[in-house]
Structure 1
């Protein structure tokens, strides 16, 4: 690494025409520059510069060596420019991980942004489990609910309301419950990774704890939603999952007087250092989209 630094200093001396000019440009002393160039010559065992009291000139080998050092200096400048561009303009590939329930929302959330930046590529990874972001080379992950302990950076995007829902056919067979505990344990549908929920009656403040022992369990949120639409039971679903189904009548909301804690939404990145533009802007677009959804609240989770 020290040799690379000396090569860069040597190239700067040649470009500026003198050691004193290079020293002024780099904010160093002339003696420090001279010492580094002499160390380079001593290690190489050849003279790189002809020195006189009035000017410097390159030896034959120094000229060839300078050409190689100049390429190195230019490559370093290009690398710095690439980093600056990545910091200020989105480019390259964005690897995004999100829950399966987000599959229908990534397009509306990021579509216009992707059209504005044709140099940006998007690699989507949908799953309801928890991926090792570093091992999977994920730049940005959307996660719902409680996060496991990790060294990753988690930024709250907001919350989603959760509602108990059932199909009209289920409601005809069982009638509308007035209390969460009136729903038989055998009629609940749920996600395997979701614990029991605390319910609170809005008017009286009464609380209920529904055990996490549903009859049908899945690791896949869309599967739980489809089982609910099929009339097989009652599911607690997010506003993100059910707004279209409530609008067209395929699902009905149960227990409207009871509140369930909202579901936090997080933007998780594997690094705490400065984020590239593609990650920062994707987080902004996803947050803006979430804020416009019915049943969502933007901001801190």
Structure 2
């Protein structure tokens, strides 16, 4: 490492034309610069500079050696500048993992990133949990309780949930009037983490608490499939996606037990490393946090899965 330092000092002496100017540029004393040059020449067994009281000139060996030293310094500066851009300006590839139902949310929340032409975005949408390290993921969005891990979690907001069913299903099977009535209905389940049935903890209009474990008649691991099944009248499900919200708005789905509330689910941004993050990650996290904290009408539900 000392040899690299001496090579850099030698390149600076040649660039500035004097020991004094190089020392000033490097924040060193002229005697320290001179000592490093002597040590460099001793290690090489060749003189690199002709010294006189008025000027310094390169020897033949110095001319040959300087080209490599100058290239080394230029490469180091270029590497520093590249890292500075990565630190200060979003660029490179941002790899973001999220459940399938997050597609529309991400398109809206991250829209300002379009203004950074050196940044590309790769979305890994999957309802299964992705290994962040293996997939080189910068940010993963996850919903609900988190398992203990070395990953870094930042809470972005919460997801409101609502039971729903198709009008055709409710016309055939009837409307549940209380939480326990759900046990006699067909449940659409199979979301990640719902093995062995889904435990619904409901709060009634008077503050009463009911817990119901629902076993799925039909199970699917993707929210798009659950949505299609619900609209087709297969059973009762939970509003979790943009498709569900649109279906509720146009009447293809109806709210079930509207006076009863499921607890909100927290939404987290997970990053694989602690410490300073590149600008692309910092900007994306800030945009996601701002989107989740944006005021919305009381009946608007954050659409995630």
Question: When the two structures are superposed, what TM-score results if normalisation uses the length of structure 2?
Answer: 0.87
Unaligned 5+ runs, structure 1: none
Matched residue, 1:62: 62
When residues 198 and 32 of structure 1 are mapped into structure 2, their CA distance, relative to the original with a 3 A threshold, is farther
Tell me by how many angstroms 1:28 deviates: 2.8
Q: Is the 8 A contact 1:162 1:238 kept in 2?
A: yes
Matched residue, 1:218: 220
Secondary structure of 2:252 counterpart: coil
Q: Is the 8 A contact 2:101 2:240 kept in 1?
A: no
Matched residue, 2:129: 130
Tell me by how many angstroms 1:240 deviates: 4.7
Q: Is the 8 A contact 2:204 2:259 kept in 1?
A: yes
When residues 213 and 44 of structure 1 are mapped into structure 2, their CA distance, relative to the original with a 3 A threshold, is farther
Q: Is the 8 A contact 2:18 2:56 kept in 1?
A: yes
1:201 aligns with 2:207: no
Matched residue, 2:186: 187
Q: Is the 8 A contact 1:199 1:260 kept in 2?
A: yes
Tell me by how many angstroms 1:144 deviates: 1.6
Matched residue, 2:230: 228
Q: Is the 8 A contact 1:165 1:234 kept in 2?
A: yes
Q: Is the 8 A contact 2:223 2:240 kept in 1?
A: no
1:36 and 1:202 mapped to 2: Cα distance?
81
Residue-by-residue CA offset, 1:95-118 (whole Å, 9 max, x unaligned):
12111011233333334531x223
2:89 and 2:2 mapped to 1: Cα distance?
32
1:99 and 1:56 mapped to 2: Cα distance?
66
Matched residue, 1:237: 239
Matched residue, 2:92: 92
1:295 aligns with 2:301: yes
**Number of positions where the alignment pairs a residue of Structure 1 with one of Structure 2:** 295
Matched residue, 2:284: 282
Secondary structure of 2:233 counterpart: coil
1:260 aligns with 2:268: no
1:212 and 1:13 mapped to 2: Cα distance?
77
1:35 and 1:188 mapped to 2: Cα distance?
81
Tell me by how many angstroms 1:16 deviates: 2.7
Alignment RMSD, CA only?
A: 2.3
Question: When the two structures are superposed, what TM-score results if normalisation uses the length of structure 1?
Answer: 0.88
2:90 and 2:272 mapped to 1: Cα distance?
18
Secondary structure of 1:155 counterpart: strand
Unaligned 5+ runs, structure 2: none
Matched residue, 1:24: 24
1:156 and 1:240 mapped to 2: Cα distance?
21
1:47 aligns with 2:41: no
When residues 240 and 227 of structure 1 are mapped into structure 2, their CA distance, relative to the original with a 3 A threshold, is same
1:153 and 1:207 mapped to 2: Cα distance?
33
- Report matched runs for 1:71-90 at 5 Å: 71-90=71-90
Residue-by-residue CA offset, 1:204-237 (whole Å, 9 max, x unaligned):
x221122253222222122222211111111123
